[in-house]
Structure 1
Amino acid sequence: MAKLLAVDFEGAAQFRTQIPFARVVATWGEDSPSVDLEVAPGSERAGLIGGELPVSGEARDERGSLIGEVTLWATDGFLSAIEYWWVSEDRPTSLPDPTLMTVST
């Protein structure tokens, strides 16, 4: 989350304050790296922003081949999910290493 939210877009500063208050509350399936989040009280709401945030992290392996992309979701101005889609036939069990991601808005 920190790597994706390090870039500027509407609400990014408020979403950054939510990182220490966010916790995983559900996965999107057995061994899925995509998760639902809940943000505890005490952080700043990012307006009423909802849906997929305008930032993503394209992940490539050490050879430069695309392995997937990480996106963030919000509900009512609070972080609500981390989604990871991948291109391999085998489902990954974890998010890609942030050092392998290129972030864009």
Structure 2
Amino acid sequence: MSDATGRPLTEQERAVLRHLLSAPIEGAQALRDQVEAATAEGAWDDGDGPSLDLVVPASAPAAPLADGLVPVDAAVTGPDGEFAGELLLWLQDGRLAALEYAWVTDDAPTALPAVSEITVTAR
């Protein structure tokens, strides 16, 4: 684990992460605590697609979860009410590592969806 570097998370990024971690899953509190300490590398519109690398300081408590996806489903609904994709939250060594938007629309999203457009359920 590295010390937190990068830029501060935006309020929208924090709100989305908190919303994704509102589901009743093992380790959710540790992950919510990590959101408050996390920083970001890159931006949604940096040309790397709709994703964001997260950096959590080594001093943050790790969640007791395996590497890979946080066990939540986060469906995104567009302004027209149609399914627009899903958000994927990745872990490495029990710490938040990345947030990815897997879209199904013709155009790639250039920003995170509003919290009101995200339906979160535990897996």
TM-score by length of 2: 0.76
**Residues 11-50 of structure 1: matches in 2 within 5 Å?**
11-26=27-42, 30=47, 32-47=49-64, 49-50=66-67
Report the Cα distance in structure 2 between the residues aligned to 1:48 and 1:3, rounded to whole angstroms: 18
Fraction of identical pairs, as percent? 38
Q: Which aligned pairs between 1:1-105 and structure 2 lie closer than 5 A? A: 1-26=17-42, 30=47, 32-47=49-64, 49-105=66-122
Find the aligned partners of 2:54 and 2:69 in 1 and give their Cα distance. 13
Q: CA deviation at 1:27?
A: 5.5
* Deviating more after overlay: 36-45 vs 90-99: 36-45
> Which has a greater percent of strand?
1
Over the residues paired in the alignment, what is the CA RMSD in angstroms?
Answer: 1.9
**Paired residue total:** 105
Large movers: runs of 4+ above 6 Å: none
TM-score, scaled to structure 1: 0.88
Q: C-alpha offsets along residues 19-54 of structure 1, whole Å, 9 cap, x if unaligned? A: 111111245860622111110244211135311111
Structure 2: tracts of 5 or more residues without a match? 1-16
